[in-house]
Chain A
Amino acid sequence: MYNTVNPIGNFIADTIKLAFSGIYSLSNHAKVKAAIQETENYLLIDEAFRENWKQVLPAIQAHLKQDWDSLEQALSNIAATQKDQTQFMMEFFEKLLTRPIFMQNLAQSLEKISKEVIETKEKVDKLYEEFCKEGARAEERHKKVIESIAQNTQNLLNRNIIEKVTNGKHAQLPFSNIRIEKARFTFSEEESKTTVTLEGIEVTFLSKINEPIYDHTNKGR
């Protein structure tokens, strides 16, 4: 799934890739911040994970500032404190990968760059260059997104969908006057254990009952 030779390099690259592939924003740094924010949301759940993150974060921050000396220092710190760096990173990633939303983005990008081992500062530079280019492309895409949203909103208005669901009060927000009904059940502990996953739509294998017409021509003869 991911390269164990240089997992930290991979992780940094991934975080950046995640940033520009996953979150559209006009500011490059905002994207990375968003990626960090998303990761940090998971940190709230797992204390051990948080400890690991604390060690990785300085490396990412150094990279963002293009402060290569600090980056080297941060990487050395990780190497110094971890007896088995590869094992540590594997565990770290495994924990990351058990988080469903993050996994969706991260697992895919990890797989893609598993061949791109980043061993030197030059390679990191090259990646940063790509990052900047991708940032520009992302801006282009962002424009398209805005155009497409405008078009879709117009389409929705034409179809009266927004009016229907919002009782016509969509001027300020997509929806207002949302009605929330009283819960008719309490959350059981069992339910809370269930992993909260992305909501896909399944199709069902419905059993219908046809109404055949028997031919009773012979009946009673």
Chain B
Amino acid sequence: MQTKKMTPSYYQLGILAQERADWKKAEQCFHRSLEIKEETGDRVGQAATYHQLGILAQERADWKKAEQCFHRSLEIKEETGDRVGQAATYHQLGILAQERADWKKAEQCFHRSLEIQEESGDRVGLAATYHQLGILAQERADWKKAEQYFHRSLEIKEETGDRVGQARSYHQMGNLAFLRSDYDTAEQQYHRALSILESIGDRAGTAKSYHQLGMIAHYRGDYGTAERQYRRALEMFEVIGDRIGIANSYGQLGSLAQASGDYDTAEREYFRALEIFEELGVRMGMAASFHQLGIIARSRGDYDTAEQQYRRALEMFEEIGDRMGMAASFHQLGIIARSRGDYDTAEQQYRRALEMFEEIGDRMGMAASFHQLGILKTEQNDPNDPKEGLAYNLQSLAIHTQLNSPRIRIDLDWLLRQRQILGDERFETLVTEMIKDRESCQNFYALMNEFERIQKTMKEQSHDSDDERTT
């Protein structure tokens, strides 16, 4: 009698520890619970515990163990006719397939789960499965579909008063806005998620929100804040033993070092991330690491290594169907071709990238393609008439101003060069032809003048300090 009472206690303690990301304690509790259930022949309880052990292994990226546990749980549930339980386990098998980038299998599992949940009126389960289908659509860059699924999931969670679930939806909606380069919305959503996650002590979720807030600061060029947020997230990931989280932090810290021109640190961080991703078999992370290592090699002028890394990344992105990743690889291969003077290939690659960015609605990506095509056209055409190049660079600037991106200065720097080549009068004529409305023209010249003024000030300051050194 005493033992029977203790079983659910251990089980519940395990879930509690799991929700607080104290995975060691959770594992101990579930194993103790399982031992007792096996002793007492509690089949339903065993299935539930195997399911939880599967989630635990999944959270620690131990895919093999997770799969074994889920199949063990499913077997018992089929034996006992537990339909709701089966839906939950199919859901988890779907997440497992998703983590391994096996989209087809993931979709099958989620739809199987959805069918049973609808049949049994399992609202909580439905919300969770819609959420996962949203992530699946997001990973395939089908953002419209992702948004629909997230909203559907959020609606049910609001109805059922599921606060944790709402926080998860906000976080994912933040990710969606982030991928669409809408940083203001993304930030709002992450903060909404964070306030709930912190209040309920969900350390795993909190760490992820900090990581994402770091990315927002990073993209806005506020590197100090970005580093603080990444390190905050890393510390939490380390405490809770979330290895994918740790690898992601290394990856972003690498990207941050790279942005500051510290390639050695960046390379070190990417290799640290790659090591973990390889160990866990996370192909998405591996592809991202190869891609970033390619950028480092290119920055060092080692084009052969860069190309190798981009092609490795591209192969993986293609394999897992990550269209954003593929577009990024094409873009980088274009830059390599251009650096080698192979303009035909460069243009082909940029246009392939542009096509994909346009298709998935990635405006930052489109701006980058326009920018590179602008450089290419300016170099390819008559240097005294970089009209086409100017048009592309203005298009890039237009997107960057809409997104309030600090990359505006890259466009302006290039546009200033084009003005030098064209001369003020011709430049103004062309700009007026391309930017027809008066307000846009005023905005454009206000930007150019401000940028030029700052450049001049900096130049003067630099001369002054040179003079001081000479005297």
Complex interface residues of chain B between 300 and 337 (CB less than 8 A to chain A): 301, 303, 313, 324-325, 327-328, 331-332, 335
Q: Which residues of B sit under 8 angstroms from A208, Cβ to Cβ?
A: 135, 138, 171-172, 175, 208
Does the CB pair B383–A33 fall under 8 Å? yes
Q: Which residues of A sit under 8 angstroms from B344, Cβ to Cβ?
A: 141, 144-145, 148
Q: Indicate if A172 sits at the interface (CB-CB under 8 A).
A: yes
Asked, given contacts A202-B295, A217-B44, whether A209 binds B172 with beta carbons under 8 Å apart, the answer is: yes
A-side interface mostly: loop
Q: Indicate if B273 sits at the interface (CB-CB under 8 A).
A: yes
Complex interface residues of chain A between 183 and 221 (CB less than 8 A to chain B): 183-187, 189, 191-221
Which residue in chain B gives the minimum CB-CB distance to A37?
A: B383
Does the CB pair A213–B331 fall under 8 Å? no
Which residue in chain B gives the minimum CB-CB distance to A166?
A: B395
Q: Which residues of A sit under 8 angstroms from B129, Cβ to Cβ?
A: 211, 213
Q: Which one of B207, B354, B447 lies within 8 Å of A180 (CB-CB)? A: B447
Does the CB pair A161–B446 fall under 8 Å? no
Q: What's the Cα separation between A179 and B442 when bound, in Å?
A: 11
Which residue in chain B gives the minimum CB-CB distance to A202?
A: B255
Does the CB pair A30–B379 fall under 8 Å? no
Q: What's the Cα separation between A176 and B295 when bound, in Å?
A: 33
B-side interface mostly: helix
Does the CB pair B343–A145 fall under 8 Å? yes
Does the CB pair B15–A161 fall under 8 Å? no
Q: Indicate if A22 sits at the interface (CB-CB under 8 A).
A: yes
Q: What's the Cα separation between A159 and B335 when bound, in Å?
A: 24
Does the CB pair B394–A108 fall under 8 Å? no
Asked, given contacts A152-B347, A217-B48, A218-B11, whether A183 binds B175 with beta carbons under 8 Å apart, the answer is: no
Which residue in chain A gives the minimum CB-CB distance to B132?
A: A211
- Minimum Cβ distance to chain A for residue B428 (Å): 14
Complex interface residues of chain A between 33 and 50 (CB less than 8 A to chain B): 33-34, 37-38, 41, 44-45
Q: Indicate if B436 sits at the interface (CB-CB under 8 A).
A: yes
Q: Which residues of A sit under 8 angstroms from B443, Cβ to Cβ?
A: 180-183
Q: Which residues of B sit under 8 angstroms from A148, Cβ to Cβ?
A: 344, 347-348
Q: Indicate if A164 sits at the interface (CB-CB under 8 A).
A: yes
With a 10 A CB-CB cut-off, give which of A152, A184, A201 has the most chain B CB atoms.
A201
Q: Which residues of A sit under 8 angstroms from B341, Cβ to Cβ?
A: 21-22, 105
Q: What's the Cα separation between A182 and B446 when bound, in Å?
A: 8
Which residue in chain A gives the minimum CB-CB distance to B339?
A: A104
Q: Indicate if B240 sits at the interface (CB-CB under 8 A).
A: no
Does the CB pair B175–A206 fall under 8 Å? yes
Does the CB pair B343–A217 fall under 8 Å? no
Does the CB pair B221–A200 fall under 8 Å? no
What total of chain A residues lie within 8 Å of the partner, measured CB to CB? 79
Q: What's the Cα separation between A189 and B460 when bound, in Å?
A: 12
What total of chain B residues lie within 8 Å of the partner, measured CB to CB? 140
Q: Indicate if A171 sits at the interface (CB-CB under 8 A).
A: no
Q: What's the Cα separation between A183 and B107 when bound, in Å?
A: 43
Does the CB pair A183–B208 fall under 8 Å? no
- Minimum Cβ distance to chain A for residue B120 (Å): 13
Q: Indicate if A177 sits at the interface (CB-CB under 8 A).
A: yes
Q: Which one of A161, A211, A221 lies within 8 Å of B168 (CB-CB)? A: A211
Q: What's the Cα separation between A208 and B128 when bound, in Å?
A: 14
Q: Which residues of A sit under 8 angstroms from B358, Cβ to Cβ?
A: 159, 161, 164-165
Does the CB pair A149–B347 fall under 8 Å? yes
Which residue in chain A gives the minimum CB-CB distance to B457?
A: A189
Does the CB pair A108–B339 fall under 8 Å? yes
Complex interface residues of chain A between 10 and 57 (CB less than 8 A to chain B): 21-25, 30, 33-34, 37-38, 41, 44-45
Asked, given contacts A148-B348, A176-B434, A183-B443, whether A221 binds B409 with beta carbons under 8 Å apart, the answer is: no
Q: What's the Cα separation between A193 and B125 when bound, in Å?
A: 53
Q: Indicate if A168 sits at the interface (CB-CB under 8 A).
A: no
Does the CB pair B335–A200 fall under 8 Å? yes
Does the CB pair A103–B301 fall under 8 Å? yes
- Minimum Cβ distance to chain A for residue B190 (Å): 10
Q: What's the Cα separation between A197 and B406 when bound, in Å?
A: 13
Does the CB pair A201–B332 fall under 8 Å? yes
B161-190 vs A, Cβ < 8 Å mask (1 yes, 0 no): 000010010011001001100000000000
- Minimum Cβ distance to chain A for residue B282 (Å): 10
Q: Indicate if B211 sits at the interface (CB-CB under 8 A).
A: yes
- Minimum Cβ distance to chain A for residue B110 (Å): 11
Does the CB pair A181–B128 fall under 8 Å? no
Q: What's the Cα separation between A20 and B410 when bound, in Å?
A: 26
Q: Which one of A174, A177, A184, A187 lies within 8 Å of B388 (CB-CB)? A: A174
Q: What's the Cα separation between A210 and B285 when bound, in Å?
A: 16
Asked, given contacts A23-B380, A201-B331, whether A207 binds B248 with beta carbons under 8 Å apart, the answer is: yes
Q: What's the Cα separation between A41 and B415 when bound, in Å?
A: 13
Q: What's the Cα separation between A202 and B269 when bound, in Å?
A: 15
Q: Indicate if B382 sits at the interface (CB-CB under 8 A).
A: yes
Q: Indicate if A178 sits at the interface (CB-CB under 8 A).
A: yes
What are 6 A-B contacts defined by CB distance under 8 Å? A152-B348, A173-B387, A177-B435, A179-B398, A192-B454, A207-B211
Further 15 A-B residue pairs, CB within 8 A, beyond A145-B344, A148-B344, A148-B347:
A25-B382, A34-B379, A44-B420, A172-B433, A178-B434, A178-B435, A179-B398, A183-B450, A191-B406, A203-B288, A207-B207, A208-B135, A211-B132, A213-B124, A218-B12
Interface residues, chain A, with chain B CB atoms under 8 Å away: 21-25, 30, 33-34, 37-38, 41, 44-45, 101, 103-105, 107-108, 141, 144-145, 148-149, 152, 155-156, 159, 161, 164-165, 172-187, 189, 191-221
